[in-house]
């Protein structure tokens, strides 16, 4: 559908792309990957025709439609959410306007027998078919489904765009593009402003999308779920593989190993051959042999090893100073804003050495809890206590944006470094890929990923024993995220992190604080297990109502038809009783688990034996609930 032909781009004194070509076919799910600054976003802009290439061209089949979601864009702030999304489907809008005009004519005209009147009726029928074909009759339903999937609530639909943050506005723009269902979707970091639940919804949608997709993402889990092809941009060239990201990485590493081995063997062969030539070329009886070896070398195809930009972060956090038994605790804490309550009489205990993922939908208060911990927000009632000798290292969600754009990279760090660290500033910056003349660049010319690296660099200037990180991976490429994760894995203090990147969180934390209904519940499991369970619960909750209604209708219908035998009626009654019993058991288990959630928020881990016993009881209840829900689904399936 789309063809990139011998594309070259010369920017900033270097070749960003050098004669690259590839095709985008229907059903392609392409992950466009590469380090920050490799040219991924530029490639999408070239495909959209927003930038001119230095050489080559982009061509596409006639009639192909493209939807493009950039990282930054202007928004219609005065429009209401629902109206803004409705405006996206221009085909529907045109058809609606034409239908309204035809209906008006049919109501006002009286020449019922004329050819033009009959033509209006034919046009009306044709347009109604087109309206249906483009989803016009289901448009409102689809809009609501998309908006809810992306995290909005029904009460948000009539609110103005200006009432929402930039991240929520980007969700509206994404919704508009998905509603149009173009032949090709170009998505530049679509998960940047989504919470985990919305990312999972988007994954499912894109997995079943009917057109082609080319997306930029630094979320490995998202890439692996959605894509079936990977195009890497590296050192001005592209490498195209028919695999999702993780498999591509394995194949690519194997290729480079083979290339290096082949180049080494060839180098050895050339050296040995040249030695033979030098040995025999002066001898008359061997001169012809030497000439044949020279010709053989001239014809030799030199094995080239792909040029790879292997520059990567290289750092570790300073050892954590000793602290007391706990890092922080909330007791009966209430935090309210004029428009909403975040916490209502909530209890929370963060013990020393805890490694915690703070999870919840966007807007429930993750960043607020972090700001309470670091003293940037005040609470209305209750107590918040920071533990003995606790030193907090804080990375805010907007940390990169808070940097002074008029300072140089070196000045940014040197101005806040103290003591012995003053002498290490250049080395520290070098470990964050800012070396040599780069350190004299102004912050305002840096990319989003470079600003994030610089902001993270500040955490190394003094030792901390409690790291509080709010979306630290935004704008970091996959390689940089892996280095950050490795450094955090080796960090020997307390860690509290907010992130929507599941691959980054995997194995990094071992406890989950979930914010829901103005409370914080504690889950003693890894992120992968938690999300798998939550997704299953969400699906079951959605299906339960549908299945119950379906069961009731079928039982009612069978009763009306009165065609069931005595044994069939007996079996039906048995299954109905079992469903009722299972529902009571599930309700009871859910109530017990809720009690444990509240108790574990303030669990005393100093008594390790008692704490472990309670955790095991909690896990047993969770497993029992999962089994009961599975049994319920099986019985309902039999009833249906």
- Better-scored residue on pLDDT, 136 or 465: 465
Residue 629 has pLDDT above 80, yes or no: no
Residue 313 has pLDDT above 80, yes or no: no
Q: Across residues 469-492, what is the average pLDDT?
A: 87
- Better-scored residue on pLDDT, 336 or 313: 336
Domain boundary assignment for the chain:
265-306, 326-523, 530-639
**pLDDT for position 83:** 83
**pLDDT for position 546:** 44
Residue 466 has pLDDT above 90, yes or no: yes
What residues does 498 pair with on adjacent strands? 470
Residue 636 has pLDDT above 80, yes or no: no
Q: Across residues 110-121, what is the average pLDDT?
A: 81
**Which among 378, 380, 383 has a CA at the least distance from the CA of 347?**
383
Which helix or strand (DSSP H or E) is residue 152 part of?
Answer: none
Residue 498 has pLDDT above 90, yes or no: yes
Residue 566 has pLDDT above 90, yes or no: no
Question: In which band, very low, low, confident or very high, does the pLDDT at 620 lie, cut at 50, 70 and 90?
Answer: confident
CA contacts within 13 A on the Cβ side of 9 = 27
Q: Across residues 190-194, what is the average pLDDT?
A: 83
| 190 vs 33: CA distance, rounded Å | 14
- Better-scored residue on pLDDT, 7 or 36: 7
**pLDDT for position 549:** 46
Question: In which band, very low, low, confident or very high, does the pLDDT at 495 lie, cut at 50, 70 and 90?
Answer: very high
DSSP 8-state code for residue 315 = -
| 435 vs 379: CA distance, rounded Å | 43
| 237 vs 46: CA distance, rounded Å | 15
**pLDDT for position 545:** 45
Lowest mean pLDDT among 80-89, 196-205, 463-472: 80-89
pTM of the model: 0.68
End-to-end CA distance of the chain: 44
Q: Across residues 31-48, what is the average pLDDT?
A: 87
Question: In which band, very low, low, confident or very high, does the pLDDT at 392 lie, cut at 50, 70 and 90?
Answer: very high
Q: Across residues 227-239, what is the average pLDDT?
A: 89
Domain 326-523, what fold?
Answer: Rossmann fold (3.40.50)
The token duo for 425 is 């500033």
**pLDDT for position 282:** 73
- Better-scored residue on pLDDT, 574 or 33: 33
- In the chain, the percentage of residues whose pLDDT exceeds 70 is 88
pLDDT tens string 217-227: 988 999 999 99
Question: In which band, very low, low, confident or very high, does the pLDDT at 543 lie, cut at 50, 70 and 90?
Answer: low
**pLDDT for position 601:** 61
**pLDDT for position 416:** 86
**pLDDT for position 355:** 92
What residues does 8 pair with on adjacent strands? 55
- In the chain, the percentage of residues whose pLDDT exceeds 90 is 16
Q: Across residues 428-443, what is the average pLDDT?
A: 86
Residue 386 has pLDDT above 90, yes or no: yes
DSSP 435-493: -GGGGGSBGGGS-HHHHHHHHHHGGGSS--SEEEEESTTTT--HHHHHHHHHHHHH--S
The token duo for 619 is 């896990």
Q: What is the mean pLDDT of the chain?
A: 82
Residue 542 has pLDDT above 80, yes or no: no
Residue 561 has pLDDT above 50, yes or no: no
Sheet of 341-351: strand order equals 341-351, 326-336, 381-386
- Better-scored residue on pLDDT, 60 or 141: 60
- Better-scored residue on pLDDT, 3 or 313: 3
Question: In which band, very low, low, confident or very high, does the pLDDT at 564 lie, cut at 50, 70 and 90?
Answer: low
Q: Across residues 367-385, what is the average pLDDT?
A: 91
Which helix or strand (DSSP H or E) is residue 495 part of?
Answer: strand 494-498
Q: Across residues 275-287, what is the average pLDDT?
A: 78
**pLDDT for position 278:** 84
């Amino acid at each position: 559908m789309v063809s990139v032909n011998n594309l070259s781009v010369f920017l900033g004194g270097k070749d960003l792309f050098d004669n690259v070509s590839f095709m985008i076919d229907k059903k392609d799910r392409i992950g466009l990957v590469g380090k920050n600054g490799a040219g991924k976003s530029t490639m999408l802009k070239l495909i959209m025709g927003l930038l001119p290439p230095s050489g080559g061209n982009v061509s596409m089949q006639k009639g192909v439609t493209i939807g493009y979601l950039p990282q930054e864009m202007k928004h219609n702030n005065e429009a209401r959410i629902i109206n803004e999304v409705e405006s996206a489907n221009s085909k529907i809008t045109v058809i609606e306007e034409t239908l309204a005009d035809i209906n008006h004519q049919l109501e006002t005209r009286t020449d019922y027998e004329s050819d033009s009147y009959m033509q209006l009726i034919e046009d009306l029928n044709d347009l109604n078919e087109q309206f249906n074909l483009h989803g016009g009759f289901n448009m409102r339903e689809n809009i609501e489904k998309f908006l809810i999937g992306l995290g909005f609530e029904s009460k948000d639909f009539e609110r103005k765009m200006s009432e929402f943050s930039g991240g929520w506005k980007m969700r509206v723009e994404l919704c508009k593009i998905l509603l149009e269902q173009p032949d090709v979707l170009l998505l530049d970091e679509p998960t940047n402003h989504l919470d985990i639940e919305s990312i999972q919804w988007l994954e499912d949608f894109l997995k079943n999308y009917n057109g082609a997709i080319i997306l930029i993402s630094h979320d490995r889990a998202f890439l692996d779920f959605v894509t079936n092809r990977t195009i890497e941009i590296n050192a001005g060239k592209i490498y195209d593989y028919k695999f999702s990201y993780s498999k591509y990485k394995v194949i690519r590493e194997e290729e480079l190993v083979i290339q290096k081995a082949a180049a080494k063997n060839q180098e050895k062969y050339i050296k040995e051959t040249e030695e033979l030539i030098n040995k025999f070329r002066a001898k008359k009886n061997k001169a012809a042999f030497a000439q044949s070896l020279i010709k053989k070398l001239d014809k030799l195809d030199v094995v080239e090893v792909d040029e790879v930009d292997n520059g990567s972060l290289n750092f570790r956090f300073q050892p954590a100073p000793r602290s007391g038994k706990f890092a922080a605790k909330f007791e009966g804490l209430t935090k309210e804003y004029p428009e909403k309550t975040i916490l209502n009489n909530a209890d929370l205990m963060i013990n020393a050495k805890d490694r915690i993922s703070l999870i919840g939908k966007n807007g429930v208060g993750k960043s607020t809890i972090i700001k309470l911990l670091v003293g940037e927000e005040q609470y209305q009632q209750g107590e918040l206590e920071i533990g003995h000798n606790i030193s907090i290292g804080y990375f805010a969600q907007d940390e990169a944006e808070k940097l002074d754009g008029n300072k140089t990279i070196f000045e940014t760090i040197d101005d806040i470094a103290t003591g012995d660290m003053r002498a290490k500033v250049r080395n520290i910056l070098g470990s964050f890929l800012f070396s040599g003349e780069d350190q004299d660049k102004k912050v305002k010319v840096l990319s989003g990923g470079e600003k994030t690296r610089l902001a993270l660099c500040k955490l190394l200037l003094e030792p901390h024993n409690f790291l509080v990180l709010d979306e630290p991976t935004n704008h970091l490429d996959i390689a940089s995220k892996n280095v950050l994760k490795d450094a955090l894995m080796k960090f020997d203090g307390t860690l509290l992190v907010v992130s929507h990147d599941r691959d980054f969180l995997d194995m990094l934390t071992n406890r989950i604080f979930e914010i829901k209904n103005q409370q914080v519940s504690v889950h003693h499991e890894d992120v992968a297990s938690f999300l798998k369970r939550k997704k299953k619960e969400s699906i079951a909750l959605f299906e339960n109502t549908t299945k119950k209604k379906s069961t009731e209708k079928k039982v009612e219908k069978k009763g009306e038809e009165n065609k069931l035998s005595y044994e069939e009626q007996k079996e039906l009654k048995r299954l109905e009783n079992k469903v009722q019993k299972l529902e009571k058991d599930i309700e009871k288990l859910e109530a017990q688990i809720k009690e444990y959630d509240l108790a574990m928020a303030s669990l005393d881990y100093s008594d390790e034996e008692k704490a472990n016993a309670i955790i095991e009881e909690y896990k047993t209840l969770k497993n029992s609930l999962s089994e009961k829900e599975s049994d319920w689904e099986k019985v309902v399936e039999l009833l249906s």
